[in-house]
């Protein structure tokens, strides 16, 4: 048995069937290029039928693109029962794409044969056999997806096996067993695949859905039985609960089972691709996703972090760098001195967790958490907090005052913000309108600061969340505001807490813009790490 497992990506077709997902042709081609660079073996572009001009255009444009690693696949169904293969519009459309790989699905479950297609069991076997044979006669690689194979096998094992043997007789290059409803248990997958494997002479693959949360597990069972092709989508996108997540399967196959898929170089780009697909799909990236999620290697408990600093294997099943991710230490009320020391390690290398400044910062963090701050979700605010404690942060301006004015008119609400502040000895007094008080404040603040700090023009607010912390206090309740910002290259989050939602928003907004300036080296009190004394003590700490 070969240790090579070929990755068949369905993101552009199955993934596009997910609720809330819609890819343009350009979106699909961007993702396809990144998949090809990653090293997947097959990219399923879509179903090019006359009612889907988007996918027809995709295959037309894809012909002129250089593909380094992947083979493009066009997807469709077996012929209609009343058509000869050469007269079937679906099969003709597949041929017309020019795609080197043609994938068709057929029925394995007698329920579908009788109730959906309303044909006999024998007719279904014939249309599987001659549809595959027709496509093979045009010199293409043919993948046969045995739809509902596991449900069909559970209902009538003999007939389900006959359907895949019909595809084999037609000349299919690969037969993929599909858990289309996504409810099969691993033991049933093992039984059905084992029985089919004993009858097949051609390679087989696996295509699973995640309706019972078992898509990855079922795919791995099939691979252990010899499946040489795994189908799935990036981030598990797909109809209903989604498809098998290739961002989970690929590293598990490589790192746990020792199978060759996309190789170490591709694996190291997996997190970046996962984030890219979420961005193109315009959906939030699942931060708890295995391997590639932001929280996959995030550590919060003080005991955990203390152990991690001594030996990363204590609480990680693999190194984050292998999949292009990174380790994160979260600050919270559960943190210990080791957490804080690790968090500011890049500022003060070798800092001991028992140092008074570490303990002071830890005390401050726990006080803020008690007040309603959740610093684990606002690492930019944590960075600013730490630098202030170390004396290595220069405030970008001195606030003189701000206010917002809300006017209700017959045409609707009008909001105006007035900001007065001092920057480098000069007083700025700016006014701006906005869609709401936060938007107006943001505009007024930028109007003052961008004259001195033009870099801030690149910063955009990506997300704004408000959480009421003490609902029992009614309108006097404290609120927590989380702001996510980006400059096109980096994304960061900041936080503010107050009984006044405008003040909480101002705190988070100020930290957001300050962090951009800090990243660009404009608010540093000097190169902190390089200014340590010969004893390793930082001057700011020595004075504390």
Give the pLDDT of residue 125: 98
Contacts of residue 529, Cβ cutoff 8 Å, sequence gap at least 6: 346, 347, 348, 349
Structure letter (DSSP) for residue 362: H
Span 426-453, average pLDDT: 90
Closest CA to 37 of 318, 234, 259: 234
Q: How far apart are the first and last CA of the chain?
A: 65
Query: What pTM value is reported for the model?
Result: 0.72
337, pLDDT greater than 90: no
**Helix locations, 137-267, DSSP H:** 149-155, 157-170, 186-197, 215-224, 246-251, 263-267
Residue 202 sits at φ, ψ, to 5 deg, of -105, 160
Q: Which domains does the chain have, with CATH numbers?
A: 6-255 (3.20.20.70), 298-393+527-531 (no CATH)
Name the percent of the chain lying above pLDDT 70.
85
Cα dihedral 167→103→194→154 (10° resolution): -80
Please report which confidence band the pLDDT of residue 189 belongs to, taking 50, 70 and 90 as the band edges. Answer: very high
SS3 at position 291: coil
pLDDT tens digits, 348-361: 555 566 666 666 66
Span 136-164, average pLDDT: 98
Comparing 131-135, 308-312, 385-389, 532-536, which segment has the lowest mean pLDDT?
A: 532-536
Please report which confidence band the pLDDT of residue 51 belongs to, taking 50, 70 and 90 as the band edges. Answer: confident
Please report which confidence band the pLDDT of residue 1 belongs to, taking 50, 70 and 90 as the band edges. Answer: low
Residue the block writes with tokens 């390793």: 536
Please report which confidence band the pLDDT of residue 321 belongs to, taking 50, 70 and 90 as the band edges. Answer: very high
Give the pLDDT of residue 413: 80
418: left (phi over 0), alpha (psi -120 to 50) or beta: beta
464, pLDDT greater than 90: no
Give the pLDDT of residue 332: 53
Closest CA to 510 of 432, 396, 387: 396
Residue 3 sits at φ, ψ, to 5 deg, of -90, 5
Closest CA to 402 of 332, 333, 461, 449: 449
* Cα distance between residue 6 and residue 73, in whole Å: 14
pLDDT tens digits, 252-296: 999 999 999 999 999 999 999 998 898 888 887 898 999 999 889
Residue the block writes with tokens 């037309």: 60
Whether 241 and 209 have beta carbons less than 8 Å apart is answered as: yes
SS3 at position 77: strand
* Cα distance between residue 159 and residue 112, in whole Å: 12
Whether 167 and 175 have beta carbons less than 8 Å apart is answered as: yes
Give the pLDDT of residue 531: 27
E runs forming strands in 294-425: 298-299, 328-329, 398-409, 412-423
SS3 at position 413: strand
Give the pLDDT of residue 462: 83
Comparing 106-120, 205-219, 303-317, which segment has the lowest mean pLDDT?
A: 303-317
Span 156-180, average pLDDT: 98
Please report which confidence band the pLDDT of residue 411 belongs to, taking 50, 70 and 90 as the band edges. Answer: confident
pLDDT tens digits, 69-97: 999 999 999 999 999 999 999 999 999 99
């Amino acid at each position: 048995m070969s240790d090579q497992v070929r990755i068949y990506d369905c993101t552009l077709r199955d993934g596009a069937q997910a609720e809330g997902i819609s890819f343009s042709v350009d979106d699909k081609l961007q993702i396809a290029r990144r998949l090809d660079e990653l090293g997947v073996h097959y990219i399923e572009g879509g179903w090019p039928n006359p009612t889907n001009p988007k996918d027809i255009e995709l295959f037309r444009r894809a012909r002129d693109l250089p593909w380094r690693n992947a083979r493009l696949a066009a997807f469709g169904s077996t012929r209609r029962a009343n058509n000869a293969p050469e007269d079937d519009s679906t099969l003709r459309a597949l041929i017309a794409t020019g795609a080197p790989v043609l994938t068709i699905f057929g029925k394995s479950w007698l329920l579908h044969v009788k109730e959906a297609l309303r044909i006999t069991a024998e007719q279904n076997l014939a249309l599987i056999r001659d549809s595959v044979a027709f496509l093979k006669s045009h010199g293409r690689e043919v993948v046969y997806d045995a739809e509902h194979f596991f449900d069909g096998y559970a209902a009538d094992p003999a007939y389900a096996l006959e359907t895949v043997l019909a595809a084999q007789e037609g000349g299919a290059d690969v037969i993929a067993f599909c858990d289309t409803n996504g409810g099969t248990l691993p033991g049933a997958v093992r039984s059905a695949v084992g029985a089919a494997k004993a009858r097949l002479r051609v390679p087989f693959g696996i295509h699973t859905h995640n309706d019972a949360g078992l898509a990855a597990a079922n795919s791995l069972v099939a691979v252990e039985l010899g499946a040489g092709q795994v189908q799935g989508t990036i981030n598990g996108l797909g109809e209903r609960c989604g498809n098998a997540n290739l961002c989970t399967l690929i590293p598990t196959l490589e790192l746990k089972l020792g199978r060759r898929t996309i190789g170490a170089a591709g694996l190291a780009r997996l997190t970046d691709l996962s984030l890219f697909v979420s961005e193109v799909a315009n959906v939030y990236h699942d931060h708890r996703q295995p391997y590639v999620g932001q929280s996959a290697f995030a550590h919060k408990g003080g005991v955990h972090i203390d152990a991690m600093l001594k030996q990363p294997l204590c609480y990680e099943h693999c190194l984050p760098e292998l999949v292009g991710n990174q380790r994160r230490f979260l600050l919270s009320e559960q943190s210990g001195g080791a957490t804080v020391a690790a968090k500011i390690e890049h500022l003060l290398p070798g800092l001991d967790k028992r140092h008074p400044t570490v303990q002071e910062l830890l005390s401050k963090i726990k006080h803020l958490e008690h007040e309603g701050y959740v610093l684990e979700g606002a690492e930019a605010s944590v960075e600013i907090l730490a630098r202030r404690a170390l004396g290595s942060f220069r405030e970008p301006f001195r606030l003189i005052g701000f206010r917002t004015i809300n006017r209700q008119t017959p045409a609707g609400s009008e909001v105006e913000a007035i900001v007065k502040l001092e920057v480098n000895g000069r007083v700025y007094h700016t006014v701006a309108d906005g869609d709401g008080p936060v938007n107006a404040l943001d505009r007024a603040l930028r109007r003052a600061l961008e004259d001195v700090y033009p870099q801030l023009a690149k910063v955009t607010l990506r997300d704004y969340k408000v959480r009421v912390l003490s609902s029992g206090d009614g309108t006097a309740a404290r609120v927590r505001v989380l702001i996510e910002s980006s400059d096109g290259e980096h994304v960061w989050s900041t936080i503010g807490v107050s009984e006044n939602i405008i003040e909480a928003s101002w705190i988070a907004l100020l930290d957001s813009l300050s962090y951009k300036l800090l990243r660009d080296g404009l608010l540093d009190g000097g190169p902190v790490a390089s200014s340590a004394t010969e004893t390793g003590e930082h001057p700011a700490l020595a004075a504390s």
